[in-house]
């Protein structure tokens, strides 16, 4: 695992955009695993700029997002599908038909999750998975205690995660309590993983991820079992490291 600390969130985000662009330049039909949340927004802005200025061509890329809230369809403004359209897909030359986000309104969630796994496999597996980091150590919506062999499935969100994500909704009661998420094993199958964490609020979670025990109680620590992970931090997020 390589850890890179940049001076601020902008520089950290730029490095992550550069890593994604390098992956796509090396393999035009790359399969990218993408994340939502506040953290990747600047990276997506930089990718949009790079795409517009011809520095990276996303027309051959396939993408799979990590997760989606149960009960929100893709037209719901707080759905992760809407987030991805607004923050990235609508502004770049990726083929919308090759952008996949779990369907939060699937009639048969278990069947949908199994299909999502098989679609990732049929696409050739994920070349580069982008991750953010939850304050409680979650990756995607794999909350503490998630099994390391978990796959795409329905999960319950912890009260802490619901509270943190309430900032994207009008009221906390509007935040769904359940989600579909790729599992830990799904994430660890990616050939390369890039985790971005910025801000002092992530410092404890970063320290536990990198220097605490490797344990399901802190899902991000399980990334240390993967042989190609780059953790990109700003100085604030690195502030808890010894």
Task: Provide the annotated active-site residues.
Answer: 67, 136, 138, 143
In the bound complex, what is the minimum distance in angstroms from residue 65's beta carbon to ligand F6R?
Answer: 7
Residue whose C-beta lies closest to ligand F6R:
132
User: Phi/psi at 161 (nearest 5 deg)?
Assistant: -65, -40
d(CA 237, CA 104): 31
Sheet holding 99-100, edge to edge: 2-6, 229-234, 192-197, 128-131, 31-34, 62-65, 99-100
Binds ligand F6R (CB under 6 A): choice among 13, 23, 30, 36: 36
Binds ligand F6R (CB under 6 A): choice among 23, 46, 67, 112: 67
CA atoms within 13 A on the CB side of 89: 22
If binding is defined by CB under 6 A, does position 176 make contact with ligand F6R? no
Backbone Cα Rg of the chain: 17
> With respect to ligand F6R, which residue has the nearer C-beta, 66 or 126?
66
Paired with 234 in beta bridges are 6
In the bound complex, what is the minimum distance in angstroms from residue 227's beta carbon to ligand F6R?
Answer: 22
If binding is defined by CB under 6 A, does position 132 make contact with ligand F6R? yes
If binding is defined by CB under 6 A, does position 183 make contact with ligand F6R? no
Residues that bind ligand F6R (CB under 6 A): 35-39, 66-67, 132-134, 138-141
């Amino acid at each position: 695992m390589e850890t890179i600390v940049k001076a601020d969130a902008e520089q950290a985000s730029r490095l992550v955009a550069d890593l994604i662009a390098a992956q796509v330049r090396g393999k035009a039909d790359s399969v990218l695993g993408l994340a939502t949340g506040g953290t990747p927004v600047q990276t997506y802005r930089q990718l949009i700029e790079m795409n517009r200025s011809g520095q990276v061509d996303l027309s051959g890329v396939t993408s799979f997002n990590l997760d989606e809230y149960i009960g929100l369809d893709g037209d719901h403004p707080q759905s992760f599908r809407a987030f991805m359209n607004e923050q990235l897909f609508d502004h770049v030359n990726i083929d919308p038909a090759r952008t996949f986000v779990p369907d939060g309104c699937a009639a048969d969630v278990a069947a949908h999750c199994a299909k999502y796994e098989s679609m990732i496999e049929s696409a050739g597996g994920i070349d580069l998975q982008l991750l953010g980091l939850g304050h409680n150590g979650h990756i995607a919506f794999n909350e503490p205690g998630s099994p390391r062999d978990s796959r795409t499935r329905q999960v319950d969100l912890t009260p802490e995660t619901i509270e943190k994500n309430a900032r994207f909704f009008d009221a906390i009661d509007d935040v769904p309590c359940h989600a579909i998420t790729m599992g830990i094993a799904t994430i660890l199958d990616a050939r390369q993983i890039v985790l971005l964490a910025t801000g002092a609020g992530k410092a404890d979670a970063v320290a536990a991820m990198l220097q605490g025990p490797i344990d399901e109680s802190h899902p991000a620590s399980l990334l240390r079992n993967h042989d190609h992970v780059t953790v990109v931090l700003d100085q604030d997020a690195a502030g808890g490291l010894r």
